[in-house]
Amino acid sequence: MKLAITIITLLTAIFVLPAMGESAQFWSDQANGYFISGDFEKAAASYDKALDLEPNSTELWNNKGRVLGMMGRFDDAISCFDKSLAINTSNPESSNLKAIALSRGLNRNSESIAIFDQILQTNPSYFDARIGKGMALANEGNLYGSLECFENATLIKPQDPTGWNNKGVVLKQMGRYQDALICFNKALAIDSSYEVALQNRESTLQDLDQTPRSSPSMSTQDML
């Protein structure tokens, strides 16, 4: 899947202030810069230094988990999200990130779907959980359930191209090429430089020009 897996207050009293330039915010900013530049090893090390100073920051644990996920260290990433959830059990972002890592990283789709459902039970309009659940269902071959998730996502955020693109991918897999093309065009009307939608539209146009054949296997690599 192209995508990507998209990136704390100290509870004990501090009697000795950290050296100038070595606050948790300093290390967090360093880590964010490394993350953006693609230097994930240095980003993870900087988040560790920030967490030494603010170990109860759900934001820092989530960001470190994101970095580890980008490095393919999904078990370690999930451990970070669990630590974040230990601090705040009702943090939907931490739960959502954990579910994404379970599904996209470890192919543990049933577990991830259960987490997405918990999030959506509390907040049915949580866009990222709709997208994540749709992709996990697609990985399991449940096209109709996946399509329903992406349709709901487009209702929640009609100006976000992700839902339209992913809905188009499912429709294409179902052989509904014209409907898929409409979705890819809607995604591109929102963001004309959306590369994955451009590729999917081109592929769909080629399918429309060819003799009907069996549909290709479903791949969430065409989603984002």
| Segment 32-75, tens digit of pLDDT | 999 999 999 999 999 999 999 999 999 999 999 999 999 999 99
Average pLDDT over residues 215-220: 48
* Helix pair 161-173, 127-139: axis angle to 10 deg: 20
Distances (CA, A) of 36 to 32, 43, 68, 84, 111: 6, 9, 14, 22, 30
**C-alpha to C-alpha distance for 29 and 50, rounded to whole angstroms:** 9
Whether the per-residue pLDDT at 168 is higher than 50: the answer is yes
pLDDT in the model for residue 24:
95
DSSP state of 125: T
pLDDT in the model for residue 223:
63
Average pLDDT over residues 166-171: 98
pLDDT in the model for residue 2:
39
Average pLDDT over residues 77-103: 97
pLDDT class for 21, splitting at 50, 70, 90? low
pLDDT class for 22, splitting at 50, 70, 90? confident
pLDDT in the model for residue 74:
97
Whether the per-residue pLDDT at 8 is higher than 80: the answer is no
Whether the per-residue pLDDT at 20 is higher than 60: the answer is no
Whether the per-residue pLDDT at 171 is higher than 70: the answer is yes
Average pLDDT score, the chain: 88
**C-alpha to C-alpha distance for 141 and 223, rounded to whole angstroms:** 14
The predicted model scores a pTM of: 0.82
pLDDT in the model for residue 210:
77
Whether the per-residue pLDDT at 216 is higher than 70: the answer is no
pLDDT in the model for residue 222:
63
pLDDT in the model for residue 221:
57
- CA geometry: angle at 100 spanning 99 and 104, to 5°? 125
**C-alpha to C-alpha distance for 109 and 134, rounded to whole angstroms:** 11
Whether the per-residue pLDDT at 217 is higher than 70: the answer is no
**C-alpha to C-alpha distance for 169 and 13, rounded to whole angstroms:** 52
Whether the per-residue pLDDT at 3 is higher than 80: the answer is no
Which position has the token pair 């499912």? 170
Average pLDDT over residues 152-162: 98
Q: Which of 79, 72, 81 is nearest to 106 (CA)?
A: 72
Whether the per-residue pLDDT at 106 is higher than 70: the answer is yes
